[in-house]
Amino acid sequence: MSPKNAFYAQSGGVTAVINASACGVIETARQHPDRIGKVLAGRNGIIGALTEDLIDTSLETPADIAALRHTPSGAFGSCRYKLKSLEQNRAEYERLIEVFRAHDIGYFFYNGGGDSADTCLKVSQLAATLGYPIQAIHVPKTVDNDLPFTDVCPGFGSVAKYVAVSMREASFDVASMAKTSTKVFVMEVMGRHAGWIAAAGGLASDAECPLPIVILFPELVFEPAPFLARVAELVETHGYCSIVVSEGVKDASGQFLADQGLKDAFGHAQLGGVAPVIANLLRQELKLKYHWAVADYLQRAARHIASKTDVEQAYALGRAAVELALAGHNAVMPTIVRQSDEPYVWTLGEAPLAEVANRERKMPREFISEDGFGISEAGRRYLQPLIQGEDYPPYHNGLPQYVRLQNRAVPRLTTSSFALK
């Protein structure tokens, strides 16, 4: 049996370490030329398969593939595009098979979050549903950390480290200024549905370096009165405080605080952040001088301060995906299994995609402190290991040397084109 080619694609929001998973997939596949031919990457995710826009990764040098490990973002382009069900859009699946058959694809590696796990599951069923034999393995990735079964999702640990480090640094800054100037610093972080990222701000403060930090979680309804009381108390005691607020925080009516109906001078709705809303509240109610920041993409792209643990896990899961495929598995996702908290020991496991897809992992309430404004000891035990270790990229001229691949296209073999819906 001649070796089949593999398809690899990146999906959804990118991270500081999704390319480390790509590196794990490609380097491992290259070690098995008897079983796997070329790794063909989808340009801009699954769209690359549907439009037959494939990248021949075999043309990239080993050094460039190795450099993916320290390069943030999605090297082949990502996309936000969810396959419909077979019943709703059979043409999409038939098109995938047309392209896969033309390029002799026998392995499908999909690197993404919950929606992508669902897509991957559907592809894994193509043998049964449409008679095309393929093994589909999902490589987990999401800063939202909301995939079930795995101890953590690659990408999250590095965002967590960025947020923890930034909160510590900004807190030191505010502490210096508080006597005559800024007394509160507010930082907005990602996490529309879950407070995993906001929780990481709590790590900035620990026994060795206690800092007055308030966390606003999307899991809890925002109540101004207790929040203001907590801030006032910390400023009274410490002279300052720092606040990390999740973009997903809602008020009692269920409305995002970020959507407070801001209007610009022309009456246009302004898509605001939640940080300025919180800052404004502090100014009005407590008359405190403040500064605010919105980290946005900086937090998930910050490969320069990536967690070494995260990088290693991302790579290991990419490698494991290929090894699972070689072992004959289908419709699974390799996972991180926590064996112990301290020292953090983890091994690899696997989970069936049928149980992963469309199932969201929520942050347990017991990870939040009783008063709702911090992390509990259980939360700290979970989070602390994930930010361990530094894994600096190489620098040239003062800037990180991130690789940009050639991304040369595979010649098209199908004659038909496909219009994306």
* CB atoms near residue 160 (< 10 Å): 28
C-beta separation of 219 from 194 below 8 A: yes
- Whose CA is closest to 256, among 280, 273, 269? 273
- For residues 399 to 418, the per-residue mask of contacts with a copy of itself, x marking binding by CB under 8 A and - elsewhere, is xxxx-x--------------
Site residues (CB under 8 A) for a copy of itself, limited to 53-72? 71-72
The DSSP H or E segment spanning 348 is strand 345-352
- To a copy of itself, the closest distance from the beta carbon of 295 in angstroms equals 6
Q: By CB under 8 A, is residue 201 in contact with a copy of itself?
A: no
Secondary structure in 3-state letters for 347-413: EEEEEEHHHHCCCCCCCCHHHECCCCCCECHHHHHHHHHHHCCECCCCEECCEECCCCCCCCECCCC
Shorter beta-carbon distance to a copy of itself: residue 232 or 262: 262
- For residues 255 to 274, the per-residue mask of contacts with a copy of itself, x marking binding by CB under 8 A and - elsewhere, is -----xxxxxx--x-xxxx-
Number of C-alpha atoms within 13 angstroms, CB side, residue 228?
A: 14
Site residues (CB under 8 A) for a copy of itself, limited to 291-310? 291-298, 300-305, 307
User: Residue 312 and residue 387: Cα distance in Å, rounded?
Assistant: 12
Site residues (CB under 8 A) for a copy of itself, limited to 118-177? 161, 164-166, 168-170, 172-177
- To a copy of itself, the closest distance from the beta carbon of 185 in angstroms equals 6
* CB atoms near residue 266 (< 10 Å): 5
Shorter beta-carbon distance to a copy of itself: residue 3 or 389: 389
Shorter beta-carbon distance to a copy of itself: residue 247 or 350: 247
Bridge partners of 55? 41, 409
- To a copy of itself, the closest distance from the beta carbon of 337 in angstroms equals 20
Shorter beta-carbon distance to a copy of itself: residue 134 or 278: 278
C-beta separation of 136 from 120 below 8 A: yes
- To a copy of itself, the closest distance from the beta carbon of 332 in angstroms equals 26
Q: By CB under 8 A, is residue 38 in contact with a copy of itself?
A: no
Question: Which of 101, 192, 209, 406 is in the footprint of a copy of itself by CB under 8 A?
Answer: 209
User: Residue 306 and residue 16: Cα distance in Å, rounded?
Assistant: 7
- For residues 178 to 197, the per-residue mask of contacts with a copy of itself, x marking binding by CB under 8 A and - elsewhere, is xxxxx--x-x----------
* CB atoms near residue 265 (< 10 Å): 6
Shorter beta-carbon distance to a copy of itself: residue 209 or 327: 209
Q: By CB under 8 A, is residue 283 in contact with a copy of itself?
A: yes
How many residues touch a copy of itself (CB under 8 A)?
A: 90
Q: By CB under 8 A, is residue 355 in contact with a copy of itself?
A: no
Q: By CB under 8 A, is residue 49 in contact with a copy of itself?
A: no
Shorter beta-carbon distance to a copy of itself: residue 37 or 248: 248
User: Residue 318 and residue 23: Cα distance in Å, rounded?
Assistant: 7
User: Residue 410 and residue 102: Cα distance in Å, rounded?
Assistant: 11
CA 238 to chain centroid? 34
- For residues 304 to 343, the per-residue mask of contacts with a copy of itself, x marking binding by CB under 8 A and - elsewhere, is xx-x------------------------------------
**CA-angle at 355, arms to 353 and 357, nearest 5°:** 65
Question: Which of 338, 359, 389, 409 is in the footprint of a copy of itself by CB under 8 A?
Answer: 389
C-beta separation of 14 from 78 below 8 A: yes
The catalytic residue positions are 144
- Whose CA is closest to 161, among 311, 369, 374? 311
Q: By CB under 8 A, is residue 277 in contact with a copy of itself?
A: yes
- Take residue 298 and report the two structure tokens written for it: 């900086």
Site residues (CB under 8 A) for a copy of itself, limited to 69-88? 71-75, 77-81
- Whose CA is closest to 120, among 337, 413, 321, 272? 321
